[in-house]
Amino acid sequence: ARILLAALRGEAMRHLAQGKQSTAGLLSDIRLDAMQAVRLASEQSRETLQMVKTEVKVQLADAKRDVPSFWGQITLGTKHALRTASAESDALVGGVLERVQRDAARAKQAAEDALGAVSSSAKLLVREGASRSEALMREIAGQGPEKTLSRGFALVRALDGKPVTRAAHATDGAAIEIQFQDGRVTATTGKHL
């Protein structure tokens, strides 16, 4: 059993030495493969980075070239829009001014018509007032003391010519003058009744 154990140990040691050697070889191969993969990845990264840089430079150059053109188009578009807006605004203002002028003319005509109507009415009222005034003046002229006397009334005056309009003003025994339609008489006042 010792021999077997020693043989097994020897065999295990040999396998272990072979495993170490095999592992060292594999590790060396893995290191080489890893280094090659890193080198290859590094080269690919550099190439990709270079391609990206080149593409970015191309796009920047295109953008620098296109920006003035776009800016010019924007400027032209803006100027055109401003001209169009200005023309439309002028047209709208012109339309508003025309409407205002028409409305003002209508308002002026309406005011003139109303003023004419008021003037005509005022003239008519003045004529009617004058006519009524003349009629009233004729009536007043016809209402003088003579008309009153013709209806049976009499005027009583003191001898100094002042009218006596109240019984209280006529003192007892005072001389008065009474005017009738057809003449005058003198009289003396008596007792108050």
Tens digit of pLDDT at every position of the chain (193 positions):
777 888 888 888 898 888 888 888 888 888 998 999 999 988 999 999 999 999 999 998 888 888 888 788 888 888 888 888 888 888 888 888 888 888 888 888 888 888 888 878 778 888 888 788 777 776 766 666 777 788 888 999 999 999 999 988 888 898 999 999 999 999 999 887 7
Q: What is the pTM of this model?
A: 0.33
8 Å CB contact between 188 and 174: yes
d(CA 171, CA 190): 8
Q: Which residue matches tokens 């006519």?
A: 131
